[in-house]
Structure 1
Amino acid sequence: MNTSTLSEAPSPTRVAEQTALSVLLAISFSHLLNDTIQALIPSLYPLFKQGLSLSYSQLGLITLTFQCTASLLQPLVGHYSDRRPMPYSLAVGMGMTLIGLLLLSRAHTFPMVIVSAAMVGLGSAVFHPEASRVAHLASGGKRGFAQSLFQVGGNAGTSLGPLLAAAIIVPRGQGAAAWFSVLAGVGMLVLWQVGGWTSRKLHSIARQPQHHASAAPAPFPQATVIRALAVLVALVFSKYVYLTSMTSYYTLYLIERFGVSVQKSQVYLFVFLFAVAIGTIAGGPIGDRIGRKKVIWVSILGVAPFSLCLPHAGLTATIWLTVAIGMILASAFSAILVYAQELVPGKVGMIAGLFFGLAFGIAGLGSAVLGRVADSVGIQAVYQFCAYLPLIGLLTMFLPDVESTD
């Protein structure tokens, strides 16, 4: 009996792998909660537009405030955490998001909405770089899979936000947004446990002799790294300006062009964002197998045929086209992020903060600019312009093959 029991005991390696997977699932779940809350902001735009008589430009400024608050601070948080990791900052970031949500539920003036959006953005700035670092620590070498699993939680949350808004907030009004504070509270509890695991993991790594060895040399000359990072920035620009046209204005586009109801438009937005979540979870593991550069090629440039058809399609075709666009385009970010981390080794937090910050900042600026375009020439013109953005994916030809240097 004792022999059987001993033979069935899990090995230390297997226990470590199980612990790492549980941590990845925990931060993915927390990302889901965090981004569900954040997705309530654009989901509330139809209510803000009607109740506060806001213009498209003002709606764009709300997104700009939220995205820029997050984007400007994330690289700084990531750089600091590379030097002095802050495991429990994850729970603090979720707490800031909770405060922003409660303020949002009571905001009845445009300036108050701006302040609420800024607080939610601040929570994102603290959450994302450290969460990406945790994904790297728990990856077991499968970096693309780890980042995709982390990202898919966020994408799933972004897709659930409009659906929950349609079911809960739209029928009951803006004040019902406060009900989602329960999600933030759950997230804080989960992230406090993750912080404990991260603290123990970092302590264990610090005790290993190889931890004190000199850093590995950069795999490419500085000029090559700078050129590659510039290309990646252009690709992030293409991806997130197009995505912000969908997340910020897709519901309004459907309402204006096809005359659908507010609730139906939220459901169609959920369909698109659910497709984004599916594409996200696929991109990382595929990149681990076939190379991240190939995934970047397909995920950016491959969207072009669908985006070019979208402004000319009927309602049913529009829904199917956006599903294809969401699935293909979403596979890009995990591949881009891990590619950049391999391009600049030893700077996991800074690179994560930089690219999450770029994603938020570009999306915010794009939303503001597209809002002005919509005010000037109409919402349908926005999608005719954005249709050409995926062609920027041709710049992928200038990226070096990072995987060959691993």
Structure 2
Amino acid sequence: MNSTTLNSPDQTVKKTVFAVLFAVSFGHFVNDLLQAVVPSVYPMIKQKFHLTFSQIGLITLTYQLTASILQPFIGVFTDKKPKPYSLILGMTFTLTGLLGAAFAASFIHILIAVSLIGIGSSIFHPESSRVAHLAGGGRKGLAQSIFQLGGNAGSAIGPLLAALIVAPHGQAYISWFGIIAALGILVLYRIGRWYQGHLQEKAANKMAAATARYHHLSHGRVIFSLVILLVLIFSKYFYLASMTSYYTFYLISKFDVTLQQSQIYLFAFLGSVAAGTLLGGALGDRFGRKYVIWISILGVAPFTLLLPYVSLFWTVALSVAIGLIISSAFSAILVYATELVPGKVGMIAGLFFGLAFGMGGLGSAVLGKLADETSVEYVFKVCAYLPLIGILTGFLPNIEKEQSGNG
């Protein structure tokens, strides 16, 4: 391995440090894989504890709220006082919650367990996003995509492993995922050492700080643009909540597939989400983030509108197309937001990851209630219209032009 390794932080500002990017992406992979285990066994939990769809939604809401509310505050704090080893603390909370879910004896115990998992997520994401931002050099979209790819791949593989390990043997086998958590902690320790070295290098040579690219947008225009981005995050993650929480129920109800079959189809959808995430950041660097956001949110609408009315084959095919297109937006949105507010990576990451989790949790709770009162099929018909909100992208400024005009 060349000098650009986990042990050489001095090149982070000038060039992309792929060793660090892939390491933090792997940490994100482990973090999100563990978090995906509990939702993937919702049908098992629902049957064992005789839960309603509303209670299933409440489980997701509890996790997402603990994950979302804390993140912006943690991001603001670490912007001022970076904590390289906080990533390990976050993973430890996730591991504790996972073990709690494995041996939960009641609905209340499950809520406590997912709360701990949510706290772990809220600690992990802001600081790990900063590491990805630093390691990316000038290729911020690609760096964020590689980082997000790890998370989305973990979210995709989690249900598949749950289908192979937990579904045949029972709830207690969730504890086996603790081995993966331990591996994640080891990798995050190495990342923490590299990050600590970067901070020491920066303190020793303050002139080596990265040059921020500023724009000429007014404060009001920045706020207006951030609000639009947050609304787009709402539409994206509210729709994704219908897929991640209820796609298996939808397939079982409408097409009479087995639990394991439904989880494999969910894996196909989440795999397409992972692939789309990687494409979105790179395309944003090349063609402009606004255009990627536009195509990703609004462009997926024809597929979502068609999904509730087709056969099983086309349902799976359309879900893969939906995952591929809609997932390309998040990296572009997050990097666009950091360019709107330079120097506040932790705050922006915490705000947008937090809102993403919050919207996912709120969406799951609201849609669970709607499913109880109507049907899961009706939920998918209603959610099909959410991507039309993507038309608001037209009000965003072309920030790349603003920055090039300054340079």
TM range (shorter): over 0.9
Query: Aligned partners of 1:399 and 1:280: how far apart in 2?
Result: 21
Query: Aligned partners of 1:67 and 1:11: how far apart in 2?
Result: 36
SS in 2 for 1:85: coil
Query: Aligned partners of 2:361 and 2:337: how far apart in 1?
Result: 22
Query: Aligned partners of 1:19 and 1:359: how far apart in 2?
Result: 27
TM-score by length of 2: 0.94
How does 1:203-282 map onto structure 2 within 5 Å? 203-210=200-207, 219-282=216-279
Aligned position for 2:95: 98
**Match 2:24 to one of 24, 27, 34:** 27
SS in 1 for 2:105: coil
Deviation at 1:19, TM superposition (A): 8.3
SS in 1 for 2:260: helix
Query: Aligned partners of 2:209 and 2:11: how far apart in 1?
Result: 23
Q: Calculate the aligned-residue CA RMSD, in Å.
A: 2.0
Q: Per the alignment, do residues 217 and 276 of structure 1 end up closer, same or farther by CA in structure 2, a change over 3 Å counting? A: closer
How does 1:348-367 map onto structure 2 within 5 Å? 348-367=345-364
Query: Aligned partners of 1:219 and 1:150: how far apart in 2?
Result: 29
Q: Per the alignment, do residues 10 and 72 of structure 1 end up closer, same or farther by CA in structure 2, a change over 3 Å counting? A: closer
Query: Aligned partners of 2:242 and 2:210: how far apart in 1?
Result: 47
Query: Aligned partners of 1:358 and 1:40: how far apart in 2?
Result: 21
Q: Do structure 1's residue 70 and structure 2's residue 64 form an aligned pair?
A: no
Query: Aligned partners of 1:212 and 1:28: how far apart in 2?
Result: 24
Amino acid at match of 1:270: F
Deviation at 1:207, TM superposition (A): 2.9
Q: Do structure 1's residue 335 and structure 2's residue 305 form an aligned pair?
A: no
Aligned position for 1:4: none
Aligned position for 2:301: 304
**Match 1:38 to one of 19, 35, 38:** 35
Amino acid at match of 2:309: H
Deviation at 1:14, TM superposition (A): 12
Query: Aligned partners of 1:40 and 1:226: how far apart in 2?
Result: 36
Identity %: 55
Q: Deviations over 1:207-227 (max 9, x none)?
A: 334368998766411110111
Deviation at 1:16, TM superposition (A): 3.9
Query: Aligned partners of 2:210 and 2:323: how far apart in 1?
Result: 43
**Match 1:109 to one of 106, 112, 120:** 106
Aligned position for 2:282: 285
Q: Deviations over 1:80-139 (max 9, x none)?
A: 000000010001100110000000000120000000000000000000000000001100
Amino acid at match of 1:104: A
Q: How many residues are treated as equivalent by the alignment?
A: 398
Higher mean C-alpha deviation, range 198-207 or range 64-73: 198-207
Q: Per the alignment, do residues 322 and 284 of structure 1 end up closer, same or farther by CA in structure 2, a change over 3 Å counting? A: same
Deviation at 1:193, TM superposition (A): 0.8
Q: Per the alignment, do residues 84 and 11 of structure 1 end up closer, same or farther by CA in structure 2, a change over 3 Å counting? A: closer
Deviation at 1:44, TM superposition (A): 1.3
Deviation at 1:203, TM superposition (A): 1.8
**Match 2:392 to one of 353, 376, 395:** 395
Aligned position for 1:5: none
Amino acid at match of 2:219: Q
Query: Aligned partners of 1:124 and 1:194: how far apart in 2?
Result: 17
Query: Aligned partners of 2:94 and 2:38: how far apart in 1?
Result: 12
Contact kept, 8 Å, 1:251 with 1:262, in 2: the verdict is yes
Aligned position for 2:115: 118
How does 1:176-191 map onto structure 2 within 5 Å? 176-191=173-188
Q: Deviations over 1:312-333 (max 9, x none)?
A: 0110000000000000000000
Q: Per the alignment, do residues 67 and 291 of structure 1 end up closer, same or farther by CA in structure 2, a change over 3 Å counting? A: same
Higher mean C-alpha deviation, range 377-386 or range 218-227: 218-227
Contact kept, 8 Å, 2:213 with 2:339, in 1: the verdict is no
Contact kept, 8 Å, 2:236 with 2:326, in 1: the verdict is yes
Query: Aligned partners of 2:72 and 2:254: how far apart in 1?
Result: 39
Amino acid at match of 2:383: C
Aligned position for 1:51: 48
Q: Per the alignment, do residues 380 and 317 of structure 1 end up closer, same or farther by CA in structure 2, a change over 3 Å counting? A: same
SS in 1 for 2:168: helix
Q: Deviations over 1:307-362 (max 9, x none)?
A: 00000011000000000000000000000000000000010100000000000001
Query: Aligned partners of 1:318 and 1:226: how far apart in 2?
Result: 39
TM-score by length of 1: 0.95
Aligned position for 1:3: none
Amino acid at match of 2:147: F
Query: Aligned partners of 2:103 and 2:379: how far apart in 1?
Result: 31
Q: Per the alignment, do residues 10 and 195 of structure 1 end up closer, same or farther by CA in structure 2, a change over 3 Å counting? A: closer
Query: Aligned partners of 2:90 and 2:198: how far apart in 1?
Result: 21
Query: Aligned partners of 2:369 and 2:202: how far apart in 1?
Result: 50
Query: Aligned partners of 1:57 and 1:405: how far apart in 2?
Result: 47
Amino acid at match of 2:48: G
**Match 1:375 to one of 372, 382, 391:** 372
Contact kept, 8 Å, 1:218 with 1:345, in 2: the verdict is no
